[in-house]
């Protein structure tokens, strides 16, 4: 009966500790409530595709695999390899995993810490110690201890809740950073790919021009041998040919650099990768930007900045909780005996419960400074968020304007190419008829080649700006895709102070 009574007393102590812990959980959380900061959002884009071309059908709108709008199987295959092999993306994924682990680490503070330290010791007491018991008392004894220690700091003022809230917001910001890295890598790959394809087209143009110049040189040499042309004409034709060959070689060097960059992006050694040449012959797809207010939900970098504002707001609550006392609840229990036969019996049990409070009475303004720092960090994060929003709208407008103007330039340049080719044909015919000098032919050849190269460069720039516009619009991403971290337990009352 005595053993049963002691067991009931021990269970009663532990039950009282648990009840007290649950009661203390219903504290309040200090600090301001979070609200999304406002940002300047224009009612409409100044540069919109509707001003210069009808928007594309809805089934061609941006999706997760936004690069598929270019309908290039080679590009699609390369883009898919980024998700598998790109090391920068793997590093960003690992950083997100770290942020989620920090959330779980902080959430552990919601619960008590339970530890045990069992021990078995054999002791011998000195027979010559002071106040030694009467003769006959044994100097040797065994001490068997099986303790169970429980410590708990109730979250009365919401410090833990605010810490978890900050960690959760930082984790969501890290997830958005991961999407930003992914978007940047995919866009960088597409840009390198199209610039490489534009160089392929330019190299093809120069190669065909070299072939034409070789025929022109042969014609000039034949005319020289026939006494119709001068040696100066031959030298000029030779110079024109070799100059164009040198330009083609230089373009191949630039093309190799883009090929190596693509290899690194897809996680392959540049020494083992080769991109088969394929001249660019496509026009950029039309990408409707939507309404400006949607941009705040479509840009992962803006989502990350907004989540960091939320984290900074929670840190204010963490700083302000330092003004309130800290309560610590401890409970110790277990069994202790000198023999193993009755080690776990009722009479061997022991228990203790304690409640301690700690309050800083004077810290020379340290807590006030920490609180002011948290408020300043919040203000900084709000300003950064608003600046990021302004920069995002600038990027969209820049690329919309570039695409509109480049389309007009491409049309004008196409007319220039046609005119220069016609001029070259006339000059060549005049030279063959003996009416014009070869200098006139060389001048026409230079102008025609220059116009054709500019036309190819404009085509490449249009594709690059198209990719940059898609990147500026978020690449089909949405904040709905942002992974959420499990919310912490809600308290019965929350106070904004």
Task: Please name which of 269, 65, 48 lies closest in space to residue 187, comparing C-alpha atoms.
Answer: 65
Determine the pLDDT at residue 496. 43
Residue pair 299/392 in contact by the 8 Å Cβ criterion: yes
- Which residue has tokens 């340049």? 413
Minimum mean pLDDT range among 12-16, 205-209, 248-252, 322-326? 12-16
Percent of the chain clearing pLDDT 90 (strictly above): 59
DSSP per-residue letters across 10-76: HHHHHHHHHHHHHHHTT----SPPP-PPP----SS-SS-GGGTSPPPPGGGS--SSGGGGG--HHHH
**SS3 string of 396-423?**
HHHHHHHHHHHHHHHHHHHHHHHHHHHH
The long-range contacts involving 293-298, CB below 8 angstroms and separated by at least 24 positions, are 293/41, 295/41, 295/389, 295/392, 295/393, 295/396, 295/473, 295/474, 296/39, 296/41, 296/389, 297/478, 297/479, 297/480, 298/473, 298/474, 298/476, 298/477, 298/478, 298/479
* Predicted confidence (pLDDT) at residue 13 exceeds the cutoff of 80: no
Q: Which helix or strand (DSSP H or E) is residue 375 part of? A: helix 366-432
pLDDT in tens, 68-123: 999 999 999 999 999 898 999 999 999 999 999 999 999 999 999 999 999 889 88
Going along the chain from its start, the domains and CATH numbers come out as 30-110+161-324+368-481 (1.20.1600.10)
Q: For residues 442 and 449, give the distance between their C-alpha atoms in angstroms, rounded to a whole number.
A: 10
The torsion angles phi and psi of 201, rounded to 5 degrees, stand at -65, -40
| The predicted structure's pLDDT at residue 46 | 85
Confidence tier at 170 by pLDDT (50, 70, 90)? very high
Report the DSSP beta bridge partners of residue 370: none
User: pLDDT tens digits for 473-495?
Assistant: 998 888 887 877 654 444 333 33
Burial of 202 (0-12, 13-18, 19+ CB in 10 A): buried
β strands within 64-215, DSSP E: 113-115, 119-124, 140-152
Q: What is the pLDDT of residues 431-447, one digit of tens each?
A: 888 888 888 989 999 99
pLDDT at 56 over 50: no
Q: How confident is the model at residue 488, as a pLDDT? A: 42
* pLDDT average, residue stretch 205-212: 94
Q: Which pLDDT score, from 0 to 100, does residue 468 have?
A: 95
What mean pLDDT is predicted for residues 396-417?
94
pLDDT for 311 beyond 50: yes
Q: Structure pTM?
A: 0.83
365 to each of 322, 323, 361, 372, how far by Cα in Å? 12, 11, 11, 10
Report the C-alpha gap between 48 and 44 in whole angstroms: 8
CA 438 to chain CA centroid, nearest Å: 59
Say if CB 374 and CB 319 are below 8 A apart: yes
CB 329 within 8 Å of CB 155: no
pLDDT over 50 at 10, yes or no:
no
Q: What is the pLDDT of residue 131?
A: 65
User: How far is the C-alpha of 219 from the C-alpha of 481, rounded, in Å?
Assistant: 65
Question: CA torsion sign, 71 to 74 to 77 to 79?
Answer: negative
* Listed range (350-354, 371-375, 393-397) with the worst mean pLDDT: 350-354
**Whether residue 50 has pLDDT greater than 70:** no
Mean pLDDT of the 245-262 span: 95
What average pLDDT does this structure show over 142-163?
90
Check pLDDT > 90 for residue 346.
Answer: no
Residue 473, SS3 per DSSP: coil
């Amino acid at each position: 009966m005595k053993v049963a009574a002691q067991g009931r007393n021990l269970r009663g102590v532990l039950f009282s500790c648990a009840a007290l812990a649950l009661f203390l959980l219903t504290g309040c959380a200090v600090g301001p409530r979070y609200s999304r900061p406002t940002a300047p959002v224009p009612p409409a884009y100044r540069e919109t595709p509707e001003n210069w071309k009808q928007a594309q059908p809805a089934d061609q709108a941006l999706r997760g695999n936004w690069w598929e709008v270019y309908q290039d199987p080679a590009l699609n295959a390369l883009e898919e390899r980024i998700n598998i092999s790109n090391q920068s993306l793997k590093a960003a994924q690992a950083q997100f995993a770290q942020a989620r682990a920090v959330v779980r680490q902080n959430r552990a503070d919601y619960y008590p810490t339970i530890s045990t330290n069992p021990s078995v010791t054999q002791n011998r007491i000195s027979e010559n110690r002071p106040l030694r018991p009467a003769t006959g008392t044994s100097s040797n004894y065994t001490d068997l201890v099986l303790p169970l220690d429980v410590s708990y700091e109730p979250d009365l003022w919401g410090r833990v809740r605010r810490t978890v809230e900050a960690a959760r917001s930082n984790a969501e910001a890290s997830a958005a950073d991961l999407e930003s890295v992914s978007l940047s890598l995919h866009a960088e790959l597409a840009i390198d790919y199209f610039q490489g394809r534009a160089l392929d087209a330019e190299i093809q143009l120069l190669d065909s021009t070299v072939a034409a110049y070789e025929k022109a040189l042969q014609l000039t040499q034949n005319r020289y041998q026939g006494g119709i042309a001068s040696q100066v004409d031959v030298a000029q034709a030779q110079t024109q040919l070799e100059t164009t060959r040198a330009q083609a070689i230089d373009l191949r060097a630039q093309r190799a650099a883009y090929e190596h960059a693509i290899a690194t992006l897809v996680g392959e050694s540049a020494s083992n990768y080769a991109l088969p040449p394929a001249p660019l012959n496509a026009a950029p797809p039309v990408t409707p930007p939507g309404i400006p207010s949607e941009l705040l939900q479509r840009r992962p970098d803006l989502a990350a900045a907004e989540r960091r504002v939320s984290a900074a707001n929670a840190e204010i609550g963490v700083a302000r909780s330092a003004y309130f006392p800290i309560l610590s609840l401890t409970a110790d229990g277990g069994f202790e005996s000198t023999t193993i036969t009755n080690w776990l019996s009722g009479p061997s049990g022991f228990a203790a419960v304690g409640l301690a409070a700690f309050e800083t009475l004077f810290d020379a303004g340290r807590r006030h400074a920490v609180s002011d720092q948290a408020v300043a960090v919040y203000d900084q994060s709000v300003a950064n968020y608003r600046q990021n929003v302004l920069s995002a709208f600038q990027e969209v407008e820049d690329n919309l304007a570039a695409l509109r103007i480049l389309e007009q330039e491409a049309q004008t340049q196409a007319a220039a190419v046609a005119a220069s080719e016609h001029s070259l044909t006339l000059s060549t015919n005049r030279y063959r008829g003996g009416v014009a000098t070869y200098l006139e032919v060389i001048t026409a050849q230079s102008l025609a080649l220059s116009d054709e190269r500019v036309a190819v460069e404009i085509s490449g720039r249009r594709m690059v700006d198209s990719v940059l516009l898609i990147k500026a619009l978020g690449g089909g991403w949405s904040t709905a895709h942002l992974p959420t971290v499990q919310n912490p337990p809600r308290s019965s009352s929350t106070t904004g102070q």
